[in-house]
Amino acid sequence: MKNKKLEFLKTYFIITFGLFINAIGLTAFLLPAKIIGGGASGIGTLLYFLTGFPVGMTFFLVNIVLLLLAVKILGTNFGIKTIYAVAVLSLFYSLMQMMVKGPIVKDAFMASIIGGMLFGVGIGIVFTQGGSTGGTDIIAMIITKYRNISPGRIILMVDVLIISSSYLIFGSLEKIVYGYVTMAVSSYAVDMILEGSKQSIQVIIFSNSNASIADRIGNELHRGITFLKGKGWYTNEDKEVLMVIARKNELSMILRMIKEEDEEAFISMASVMGVFGKGFEKIRY
């Protein structure tokens, strides 16, 4: 029970951190440079420069409408994480927009790069915890229910439309280009975060303390361990070898456990192309 509570708190702490990073990207870099990004925050930015209405409030209202539509059309498929992300991100946008008084970076191109990177990293972190910031994701899910169009294409088309609309406010093609740069950089950042979180490793462990090492990895990391039968060529002795498949970000914890149980352990590590099954990816081929 205690472990589940800690895991719950850890998940929401990471989501909150991702939302904070996202909010910095928008309010400290994109807004001061008058760069319009995609999604519900892009709609909020457009309305802000058009009417002065706070971005956070628009973001919240747009997502509330989309969530209500989604519940009606798709059913109650949205978890508490999405509702939490929308509420907290709306709050961050509102508070940080009041706090940031001027541009941190004066060059618009640099602002689009840095802002887009932070924006995408924040979303990617939220995605790794099974959350979502709503917006165009919900639009894509609604449309794909009735039309055989990929969600990625729908999100791209909606974002291009939002960014292109900035011409009606600023009358500047340059701003549109910066918006596209932001969109490309943020998409790349999301992919990098998601791919990084999915990278897996294979660890082979030769030790005289295999049982205690296996117990710790299984109980503390909840990873499966396979015992392999081996035989040393030099010693001509039968040996049990441990094989563990885990996420790359779990490697430091595995090494710490091994060291604490057997400092003389012999370890071999390798990256793996892909891992499918329980605790990893689903087979989609």
Question: What residue ranges of the chain have pLDDT lower than 70?
Answer: 1-3, 74-79, 141, 144, 150-152, 196-198, 274-275, 277-285
Q: Are 182 and 170 in contact (CB under 8 A)?
A: no
242 CB neighbour count, 10 Å cutoff: 22
Q: What is the pTM of this model?
A: 0.72
What pLDDT shows up at residue 135? 82
Report pLDDT for 281: 66
Residue-level pLDDT at 2:
62
pLDDT of residue 285: 47
Domains of the chain: 2-197 (no CATH), 199-272 (3.30.70.120)
Burial of 131 (0-12, 13-18, 19+ CB in 10 A): buried
For position 118, what pLDDT does the model report? 94
Q: What is the pLDDT of residue 253?
A: 86
